[in-house]
Structure 1
């Protein structure tokens, strides 16, 4: 099963890396349009999001729109004390970013900018691949699975996790493990995929 997951990961990463700059830009703009018709996103005041890496669909148009709408934007930071987990820190125009050990930009640790997870309304999550049942395949570190493992038991089921992906990242079926956290919604440039996720 692990080898199958790794093969899918390699294939889909290559597929998205081969998208041209113009295809990436069009996808990013179309993704924002999809989100603007997704009511939980429209209503959200505090949004966790990521910065694109490794061919991921670029959320920058989303970030710019959120700032224009006076919403609060938060980026993930590798938790310095709780291995394998993420913290979310507020991201503003002048936020200092540094590259973590994976080479991904993240905010410099500032405890005054941290948001408790259940005070975020929504987290827009990156992913490598997804299937028609809401199963998500990430980069293999398990950071989002650990961070979101109890989202359904938080106050008001917050934050709502929503996967963002290119259309080409959809696969028929994903092998999954017991620790994988399925997502109730995945949004691509052309479609909103939604499922009812059983409570943990």
Structure 2
């Protein structure tokens, strides 16, 4: 199956989840992540801000802030298809709807962070296989970002069980994640 079809099919499956199911499963995933050694050891965690039925990250962002860790969020730059990273301190005050309808820090709250300052990356996506290959929304933002990231930094994808597929058609530039955490399991990909 082609990426485009796989993306659409998985988004449709994910779209069948009720808001309650999304919250319940997201919370189960957040609990697994919080107990995960790489997360516990990390001080600077890059985490996406969820939208459109993705695994919710609000609980994780709050946990990072209350644990005195740095919650670092991506800001998409459509012109270059790159991401700027910014340290988020107070989501309620600092975020506004940005590119593609995703919440991002307002300009006055952008506190740039270099990719090599990160200890752990939490990655969104639409579909994943057990080797860690992912299908995102087609912009290539994360693939480009992974190229700049020191290899030693673990990437953890958050996904619902229903987002796991048998095989993602991977291309040369596609970067696999190291782990996938779903509501029922932690998958070590590499």
What is the TM-score normalised by the length of structure 1? 0.88
Q: Which residue of 2 aligns with 1:26?
A: 24
- More off after superposition, 4-13 vs 58-67: 58-67
How many Å separate the matches in 2 of 1:35 and 1:170?
18
Aligned ranges 1:101-180 → 2 under 5 Å? 101-109=99-107, 113-153=111-151, 157-158=152-153, 160-180=154-174
CA positional deviation for 1:168: 0.6
| Alignment CA distance shift 1:111-1:101 (3 Å) | closer
CA positional deviation for 1:42: 0.7
Partner-residue secondary structure (3-state), 2:24 = helix
Aligned length: 189
How many Å separate the matches in 2 of 1:91 and 1:183?
23
Q: Does 1:73 align with 2:67?
A: no
What is the TM-score normalised by the length of structure 2? 0.92
Runs of 4+ in 1 over 4 A off after TM superposition: none
CA positional deviation for 1:100: 2.4
CA positional deviation for 1:95: 4.5
How many Å separate the matches in 1 of 2:4 and 2:109?
36
Q: Does 1:16 align with 2:10?
A: no
Structure 2: give runs of 5+ residues left out of the alignment: none
Q: Does 1:87 align with 2:87?
A: no
Alignment RMSD (CA, Å) = 1.8
- More off after superposition, 124-133 vs 89-98: 89-98
CA positional deviation for 1:111: 8.4
Structure 1: give runs of 5+ residues left out of the alignment: none
